Structure 1
Amino acid sequence: MFNKKAVVLALGLIGSIAATPSYAVTQLGFILDRSGSIGSSNWTTIVNGLSSAVNSLIPIDSSYELSVVSFANGASVDVNHVLIDSAATRTAVASAIAGIVFTGGGTDMAAGFSTMQSTLSASTQAISFSYVNLATDGVPNDQNAATAARNSLIAAGVDNLSIEAIGGGVNAAYLQGSICYPQACDTTSPYAFPTQGFYIAVPDAAGYAAAIGNKIQVVTGVPEPGSLALAGLALTGLLGIRRRAKQD
């Protein structure tokens, strides 16, 4: 199992970047349910939400590798273990996510897990931590197959598997008890990441779009740009007070 000291993330249509860094990389894998129950309009909200979060929150210092897989009747690789090494690369990945086409169909969650496993396993980076996030609004076509594929993904080296459950059509007990990893699944903020997988229930696609940014912040420990700006203002104000105190 990987060294869990570093807590970092990773996203496919762009193609992989073959590089051999001298430091360890965190994998971030996002699995998206694009089955028929999601609907085209909700799908647009979901991919735009993930795209925006990635483009504003993922560091560009080559410490994260991103993969995105979506599934319906089968699964596709939409972002293929791309090392985020520049703002241009991150923007290209975000654009690829926003451009994932909705197809509708069944809920082949097993294919989603299996495809993510092969995508992450193809990385050429030195991986320190591997995180996978599942977003779904339903139940898998074959629950036993989905569980087996999830187990295989974890056996291949995934350190944490967390979930957004969208709407009321999910089997929460199954997702929390058989998919979330490590157990026991944490359902209450603040989450015990990375020692437990965590589960967030959201009412709709807009709820997912709002939650995914918060989840990325939990996993990476990176505050959103607005928080950084506020912190900078606070520091500036504190320095000003200290200068005035010295002058007095």
Structure 2
Amino acid sequence: MARMTGIRAFAAAMVVAAPLGMASKAEAATMVGLELVLLVDVSGSVDAGEYALQKGGYVQAFQSAAVQNAIMNSQLGSIAVTYVEWSGSAQQAQLVNWTLVNDAASANAFAAAIQGTTRAFGGLTAIGSAINYGASLLAADNGFDSLRKVMDVSGDGTSNDGASVTAARDAAVAAGITINGLTIGSASLLTYYQNNVIGGAGAFAIGVTDFADFAAAVEQKLIQEITGVPEPTTMALLGFGLAALGMAARRRKAA
């Protein structure tokens, strides 16, 4: 009888402890306004110079006062962000782990971490596999909870390897993730991203024609993702406007 009483007491204690344990786990996660996965194309079509411009664009963006102010004035005044490079179907690497960015110092530290990475791959272009990988990072216990979850996919070509792009997109959107795009190339590539890659609440894509225009575009894109996005058409026009300005500047320099 005494033993049964002891068992019942233990069981009752476990019932009380279980929700407390769950509460402790939930409280351990840092709440931010946005969880953001930067998915950066490093497939074989991206040469060394273009890779440097692309990575440098993200570095400059997080060093910029405009992006830093956008973060500090966003929902909850903070974001969690991670930097991923991707190429073929089995080529995805989280080069900079999830990082809390909530002021200039943490934004500069994240920029420095990106600058310190080494190129991971140089193979085919598997956009669907990259999206699946990004979704897994957002679904994992990464130490953060957020009001919004976003993947930012940049690339210079259509998918030619790996998982179905549209199936990966649809699964991510069903999980509550928004996918935005930044294309480097022709207007037809931007259309491909609009039709196959982006999705979710407020999804948009920007297109630039040259890697030299990437830095300005990614800064504007990050600001829109952090503070709220305009209509997709507006972003597309903005992207190609940035590209046109860049080409005009290069022509003037050449003259």
Match of 1:96 in 2: 113
Mapping for residues 88-237 of structure 1, pairs under 5 Å: 88-102=105-119, 103-122=121-140, 123-142=142-161, 145-158=164-177, 160-168=178-186, 171-182=189-200, 195-221=201-227
Alpha-carbon contact 1:77-1:115 (below 8 Å) kept: no
Which whole-Å CA distance do the structure 2 matches of 1:154 and 1:50 have between them?
Answer: 25
Partner of 2:46: 38
Are the aligned partners of 2:33 and 2:147 in contact in 1 as well (CA < 8 Å)?
yes
Residues 40 and 157 of structure 1, relative CA distance in 2, 3 Å threshold: same
Q: What pairs with 1:64-79 in structure 2 (closer than 5 Å)?
A: 64-73=79-88, 74-79=91-96
Distance in 2, Cα, partners of 1:215 & 1:46? 14
Letter in 1 for 2:35: Q
For 2:43 and 2:130, locate their aligned partners in 1 and report how far apart those are by CA, in whole Å.
12
Cα distance 1:115–1:175, how it changes in 2: closer, same or farther (>3 A)?
same
Q: TM-score, normalised by structure 2?
A: 0.66
What is the one-letter code of the residue matched to 1:147? T
Q: CA RMSD in A?
A: 2.5
Whether the 8 Å CA contact 2:29–2:144 is kept in 1: the answer is yes
Deviating more after overlay: 76-85 vs 60-69 = 60-69
TM-score, length-normalised on structure 1?
Answer: 0.68
The one-letter code matched in structure 2 to 1:99 is G
Percent pairwise identity: 27
Distance (Å, rounded) in 2 between the aligned partners of 1:52 and 1:211: 11
CA distances 1:22-50 after superposition (whole Å, capped 9, x unpaired): x5431122111001111111111111111
- Give the counterpart of 2:58 among 44, 50, 53: 50
Alpha-carbon distance in 2 for matches of 1:95, 1:169 = 32
The number of residues matched between the two structures is 191
- Highest Rg: 1 or 2? 2
Code of the residue aligned with 1:163 in structure 2: it is G
Residue 156 of structure 2 aligns with an amino acid whose one-letter code is: D
The answer to which structure, 1 or 2, has the higher relative contact order (CA under 8 A, 6+ apart) is: 1
User: Do the aligned partners of 2:42 and 2:122 also contact (CA within 8 Å) in 1?
Assistant: yes
Question: One-letter code of the match for 1:68?
Answer: Y
1:143: how far off? Answer: 7.5
SS of the equivalent of 1:106 reads coil
Question: Secondary structure, in 3 states, of the residue corresponding to 1:37?
Answer: coil
Letter in 2 for 1:177: N
Cα offset for 1:144? 5.8
1:181 is matched by which residue type in structure 2?
A: G
8 Å CA contact 2:170, 2:199 repeated in 1: no
**Structure 2 unaligned residues grouped into runs of 5+:** 1-26, 229-255
